[in-house]
Structure 1
């Protein structure tokens, strides 16, 4: 065992959410097809060729996100997650696909997805809300949501595409909301997700058509579904639910609050189901303060937004909760020693 790999670090690694890695392997295939060197991109994400070439090996969710972002940059394809979701074989979702496909109705399939999605991806928690207009919300657990764009876009489109295929109906969602900002490529999304599509929203969510929960599925098989549910339950019980450290949960709670100027400790504490005093105390126990996390998150998002040339600086200021662009400029100089324009030129 390397000296640097202490028992504490091993314990911390064991708590990190993992994924089956199918999406990373799809992206790796695309990189290879385009003649781009794969190994350096994997290395940037802490991955190896052996991990990618072995379909049985799980990888860290954070590594998958980092690799997808690196691949998108190397391929100059800002729509990588979307395009992968558009063409992959749904059966590659494995057990999750088959337990959904054998369900009786779309509503039951979405319930199965909500319960068993952790088998495929421990970091993306699906929450299904039944009703006349069923709703599926995607929540990040154990990793920061703001670092991801490609994976979440893949997940949302893949769920809509799977729902269309399993029900045998071509439909558009009533509404789709995605919490990150996308200044380019929105028209492509609207073509398959509908015009009621909002980026920079408060949540990642799909609203399905009215009455769609009752739609019968084309491959419904009650006997097979019963068997698969049992297998899923056994698989789920063998995996521990990983909620991640408090800092990540705080970051994920702050992100959608920034544009509304509501990123305050009392508001975040309420969203996390605790008092402000408890939140401050628990963060201090982990060696952080709320303001430190807030400022570091704003700085990280600022650099990410400034990389997008088509995103006006005044809008970036608003997205980060600043009332005026001048306040944002002062903050940038405090974080980096550079103005927003200087940061943009250096990206």
Structure 2
């Protein structure tokens, strides 16, 4: 049944962590215009390996820097060009949940419920007005130098994905008003059954979405940024000075701000390392390789740390399917 109202967006502003896929798409669009990856990533602290890492998260500020670099080096690439390059699959589990939703109305509410798994900078909302659904993107708080680009990108991405999940031949049409940051389409489309609807697949994908956002939403926003930057520099040991510089802070200021939210840099580093270790061990990597990925000089240091975190050695916690080998 067509919803008479929509859920409020789960995020109030754009400063939430995001998967690297959105940054990778910006880099790919720049590459098509002849701009090097290094030029597009300048000032972000990211490298080509980060963009290619399917596990990598980035901060909103890092993605925003890539947007600015793209505008500076490829002025012919518009927000509409970039938005049209998005697909449901770009959004990972959220995209699969959208595709497998029963109707377009269900998909719209699901997208709003998990908007912090998207790449938007202009937070969308939806209302029913007369016979139209009106989607508005909120560009308040978006820096002026990138506002127009991001309004166009985000609205185009929304529209592109809506049409994709409806089916390419469905005939869904919209009226645009870029100056007012809105698009509208007929309410009758909210009851449109999606061609890939699958209740079981949708439930699984939605559960994955909850698993992804729950830890993020439970953290202080600043601590979340620190975690992302620690993870990006983990192989080098994530020195406090490096992370502080990426945040535009001194080490003293970083230490103070973490203390204000009830934690320490060491606690954040340990938490990031222990979470990463769990995944790397489950993937079957040798202990020496796990230790290197976590920024330890030798495996013995990792073993000591792992016992401190969990009370067990890495061998004792490794997935049984690996045979417990080192």
Q: What band does the TM-score fall into relative to the shorter chain? A: 0.5 to 0.7
Residue pair 1:130, 1:213 contacting (<8 A) in 2 also: no
Q: Is 1:223 matched with 2:200?
A: yes
1:96 aligns with 94
TM-score, normalised relative to structure 2: 0.55
Residue pair 1:107, 1:214 contacting (<8 A) in 2 also: yes
Name the CA shift for 1:140/1:234 in 2 (closer, same or farther; >3 Å): farther
Name the CA shift for 1:123/1:29 in 2 (closer, same or farther; >3 Å): closer
Name the CA shift for 1:50/1:72 in 2 (closer, same or farther; >3 Å): same
RMSD: 3.0
SS for the counterpart of 1:135 is strand
1:115 aligns with 113
SS for the counterpart of 2:90 is helix
Q: Is 1:164 matched with 2:174?
A: no
Residue pair 1:126, 1:138 contacting (<8 A) in 2 also: yes
Give the Å deviation of 1:93: 2.0
1:240 aligns with 217
1:49 aligns with 48
Give the Å deviation of 1:101: 1.0
CA distance in 1, matches of 2:87, 2:152: 17
TM-score, normalised relative to structure 1: 0.52
Give the Å deviation of 1:74: 1.0
1:85 aligns with 83
Residue pair 2:22, 2:90 contacting (<8 A) in 1 also: no
User: Which deviations, in whole Å up to 9, do the C-alpha atoms of 1:279-323 show, x marking residues without a partner?
Assistant: xxxxxxxxxxxxxxxxxxxxxxxxxxxxxxxxxxxxxxxxxxxxx
Give the Å deviation of 1:147: 4.0
CA distance in 2, matches of 1:230, 1:30: 32
Name the CA shift for 1:235/1:124 in 2 (closer, same or farther; >3 Å): farther
Aligned residues: 205
User: Which deviations, in whole Å up to 9, do the C-alpha atoms of 1:63-114 show, x marking residues without a partner?
Assistant: 21221232133123141x3223324443222111111111111111000010
2:127 aligns with 129
CA distance in 1, matches of 2:25, 2:165: 22
Unaligned runs of 5+ in 1: 1-14, 177-196, 246-347
CA distance in 2, matches of 1:57, 1:21: 6
Unaligned runs of 5+ in 2: 1-13, 223-326
SS for the counterpart of 2:123 is strand
CA distance in 2, matches of 1:210, 1:30: 33
Q: Aligned runs of 1:201-216 on 2, under 5 Å?
A: 201=180, 204-216=181-193
Give the Å deviation of 1:216: 1.2
Name the CA shift for 1:220/1:145 in 2 (closer, same or farther; >3 Å): farther
2:64 aligns with 65
Q: Aligned runs of 1:237-316 on 2, under 5 Å?
A: 237-240=214-217
SS for the counterpart of 1:218 is coil
Name the CA shift for 1:145/1:76 in 2 (closer, same or farther; >3 Å): closer
CA distance in 2, matches of 1:226, 1:39: 40
Name the CA shift for 1:31/1:78 in 2 (closer, same or farther; >3 Å): closer
Name the CA shift for 1:84/1:122 in 2 (closer, same or farther; >3 Å): closer
CA distance in 1, matches of 2:71, 2:15: 24
Q: Is 1:36 matched with 2:35?
A: yes
Name the CA shift for 1:167/1:91 in 2 (closer, same or farther; >3 Å): same
More displaced stretch, 224-233 vs 85-94: 85-94
